[in-house]
Amino acid sequence: MIAEHATALELERVVRSYRGVLDHEEEREAANERHAQRFFRLDPCEDGSFAISGRLPAESAALVMAALEAAQKASAAVVGRARCASRRPMAARTGSWASRSAVGA
């Protein structure tokens, strides 16, 4: 046994090194467990929408949130432009009444 033949200082070094190995092993096991629990699922719903669920690390979740926010802003801008276009008078959307009458006459 090491304890029977080592000095106190040598034994302390061995124990300290062994604890370091155990700490790294525990960290690795915890990281592997977190990795195993990750998932991201996108499920279609009956009404044509989608349900999103998942478990992601904070860094990945931040990227997903940023992408969803950008998509939401882009979608709102498209909807806003469509609403503005539908509120313009008919003559502004298809040309003036006089130009349509002249073409049809």
pLDDT in tens, 66-101: 999 999 999 888 877 766 666 655 555 455 444 444
Q: What is the pLDDT of residue 15?
A: 78
**Overall number of domains in the chain:** 2
- Residue 51 shares a structural domain with residue 72: yes
Q: Report the C-alpha gap between 87 and 74 in whole angstroms.
A: 20
Q: Does residue 45 surpass a pLDDT of 90?
A: yes
- Residue 54 shares a structural domain with residue 83: yes
Q: What is the pLDDT of residue 75?
A: 87
What residue numbers bound the domain in which 48 lies? 40-90
- Residue 8 shares a structural domain with residue 19: yes
Q: Is residue 96 part of a domain?
A: no
- Residue 33 shares a structural domain with residue 60: no
- Residue 46 shares a structural domain with residue 27: no
- Residue 22 shares a structural domain with residue 50: no
